[in-house]
Amino acid sequence: MKRATLRDIAQVLGVTVATVSRALKNYPDISSATKQTVLATAERLHYAPHPMAVKLRQQAYKVVGVVVPDIVHPFFSDVISGIVDVMEALGYHIILSQSNESYEKEIRVTQMLQATGVDGLLVCLSNETVSIDHLRALQEYDLPVVLFDKISPLLDASSVVTNDFQGAYDAVAHLLDQGYTRIAHIKGPPHPENTRQRFLGYQAALAAYGLPFRPEYVAECHTVTHEEGATFALRFMALPEPPQALFAVSDSVAIGAITALKEAGWRVPQDMAVIGFSDWSVCRMLEPSVSSVSQPGYDIGRRASELLLREIRQLREELPPEHSRVVLDATVQVRQSSLRPTAG
């Protein structure tokens, strides 16, 4: 069964396509009698407007592109979910691409998305990305771009990020508030700004509580895996004066650390309190349940979508697009792994 067109309906009724089009869109200058018959035959022929024809006229696709480094990642799943919910409510669809943390691929997919004809782009930069010329090129063709999570100060665009600094600060403050004074940190690699901010938040919290920064209490990941968490946790324990608490840059590292500590005979949190970052769903399933800093992935997706939709609207109305910078707080989820046993 081939799909019916306006012409098909017009031929059946002996009118022109213009009349049919206007009847279907309920124009006032079409008699209600004609409207009736048009609607009836449209129904009968299972008419549906041809998407591309409409979009060619309207110059609006109602589709936005989404680029994330890695689809298979709980955080990005959350973000995407937030994006989809907002976009679908307004009749927009999303085209999903992943950069695999590759700068080359990021350039490729953004260009492909532009060529596909999206109305805007939601991008989380890859870790490799240094130049943002490929995104600037999109903007020059009036294609709005909103960055989220991993952003670049070089691009004049709206952005939505987690307050990693504050999240880390709060996590460490939570440990400090309980009276811990020797707090270690397993930090991420230097490059992604996000994990650097967590390290800075860690330092700032120590400073705010008048505690010295002890380099021997800081380890730096390369792979950010649970193996590294295990290695560094045990290394900390071997220090002459081992730390009492650990703030890990990610949940995988935190879980690796906890697992290794328990296997080595230490108790969590009695011998070492641990708190992670990201709040994976398994955190609450473990024993002890793992404290973590939860990133508002879903909200990041929502807010980024709203900003993009606003810019798309402004562009359609020939207004200069406004750019906003949204920073969402991360919230500490206190569970057993970081709760200091009441002395007694």
Residue 343 binding partner per list a second copy, DNA, none, with a CB distance cut-off of 5 to 8 Å that depends on partner kind: none
| 110 contacts DNA (rule: CB under 7 A) | no
| 34 contacts DNA (rule: CB under 7 A) | yes
Q: Count residues near a second copy (CB under 8 A).
A: 56
Query: Interaction with DNA in 10-29: which residues (CB under 7 A)?
Result: 14-19, 21-22, 24-25, 29
Alpha helices for the chain (secondary structure H): 6-13, 17-24, 32-44, 51-58, 74-89, 103-116, 133-140, 164-177, 193-208, 226-237, 251-263, 297-316
| 50 contacts DNA (rule: CB under 7 A) | yes
Please select the residue that binds DNA; options are 11, 26, 44, 54, rule is CB under 7 A. 54
If the CB atoms of residues 58 and 131 are measured against DNA, the closer one turns out to be 58
| 287 contacts a second copy (rule: CB under 8 A) | yes
- Whole-angstrom distance, CA of residue 120 vs CA of residue 133: 16
Residues in the chain: 344
Least Cα distance to 203 among 163, 173, 179 occurs for 173
Nearest approach, Cβ of residue 8 and DNA (Å) = 8
Torsion of CA 259, 127, 220, 223, to 10 degrees: 40
Spatial contact of 153 and 193, defined as CB atoms under 8 Å apart? no
Least Cα distance to 164 among 327, 335, 324 occurs for 327
Q: Count residues near DNA (CB under 7 A).
A: 28
| 136 contacts a second copy (rule: CB under 8 A) | no
Neighbours of 307 (CB within 10 A): 26
Nearest approach, Cβ of residue 326 and a second copy (Å) = 21
Nearest approach, Cβ of residue 131 and a second copy (Å) = 19
If the CB atoms of residues 56 and 154 are measured against DNA, the closer one turns out to be 56
The structure tokens 């309980």 sit at: 178
Residues engaged in binding DNA (CB under 7 A): 5-7, 14-19, 21-22, 24-25, 29-31, 33-34, 47-50, 53-54, 56-59
